[in-house]
Amino acid sequence: MPWVKKWGRSTKRFAEQVNRLTAITTNQETGWFLDLDDEAVYRIDREMLEEKFNQRLVPPPAAINISVDEVSYKKYHRYLTNVVDVDEKAIIWNERGRKTEILDRYYEGIGKAACERIESVALDGARTFIASTNKYAVNAMIVYDRFHIAQKLNWAVDMTRKQELRKARKEGNDELIDLINCRQRFILLKNKSNLTEKQTDYLQKLCEINEPIYKAMLLKESFLKVYDYQTPEEAQGYLEGWIKDALSSAVETFRTIALSFRDKLQYIINWFRKKISSAISEGINNKTKRLKRMAYGYKDVEYFRLKIHQHCGLLNPRRYPQ
């Protein structure tokens, strides 16, 4: 019978209805609406997703411009590596882990010819992803995107704040403790142009009484000025000067960042040649985290991978109807 699979417990139309509902709401709500228990919804939905996955995502789809990033799916450093088609704005591949050999599987899956057609790869500067991309996508331009660089700079500022907070507590400096406690840290991470008048006054007062944080803020703001330049040559000259200033500063976190940026200078400069970003990947990561929270976590990681494709990729029935 064409309307039911062999040994199936439900018709194809009903299974499709369950799958469409789970794409817009939780499995629990789908079960309530259709009067099914959670186990039945899980079984039907997983079977449908596996069938569609084998039809559309085996072998993995190739793309011209991709973004690579990882997202945590479980505590204790359990990660998924995601590959996103930047032009399509959809996830096209994912796998557990974030080592070099994990991304190798994607490149090997699409084949040598498809790898050579890749024009650009946006990533977060991870050496594992860079090594894999250099090995397979030989014609691709690797771009250390602006979003992750801003994250690194904010990390350096926040680490400086934590170091100074520990010193202030040892010395009993209550005024400084009030200025740099956890409640105030978001002011340090905001762009100057987005600060209110009250927040600007707070920063000015902080800089007057604490030199390391003042230097860290200056280094962060001065780095971001590189994006005002239009040509790669101008940007490279400015960045080389910034790296020298950061290495000669007494701010240890920025010295660490400067060494990392010096090693990956060419990838930073590539942003001015191809303004591709992995911000799309970060948006998908946020959707993935929201999906995990809605389900209160997933015991079945393979099912979680399929759900990511359903909500953020080529298995989404809204964007890609069968």
First and final CA of the chain: distance in angstroms? 21
pLDDT score recorded for residue 65:
95
Q: How far is CA 8 from the centre of its chain?
A: 39
Residue 104 makes CB contacts below 8 A (sequence gap 6+) with 132, 135, 136
Counting beta carbons within 10 angstroms of the beta carbon of residue 19, is it exposed (0 to 12), middle (13 to 18) or buried (19 or more)?
Answer: buried
pLDDT score recorded for residue 72:
84
Angle between helices 301-312 and 38-56 (to 10 degrees): 70
User: What pTM, to 2 d.p., does this model score?
Assistant: 0.84
Q: Which residues of the chain have pLDDT under 50?
A: none
pLDDT score recorded for residue 304:
92
Query: What DSSP string describes 99-154?
Result: SHHHHHHHHHHH-HHHHHH--EEEE---HHHHHHHHHH-TTPEEEE-HHHHHHHHH
| Tokens found for residue 306 | 């399929």
Return the residue matching tokens 């978001």. 186
Are 98 and 308 a contacting pair, CB within 8 Å?
A: no
pLDDT score recorded for residue 294:
82
Give the integer Cα–Cα distance in Å for 254 and 240.
14
pLDDT score recorded for residue 185:
61
Angle between helices 265-273 and 232-248 (to 10 degrees): 150
Task: Provide the 8-state DSSP code for 228.
Answer: G
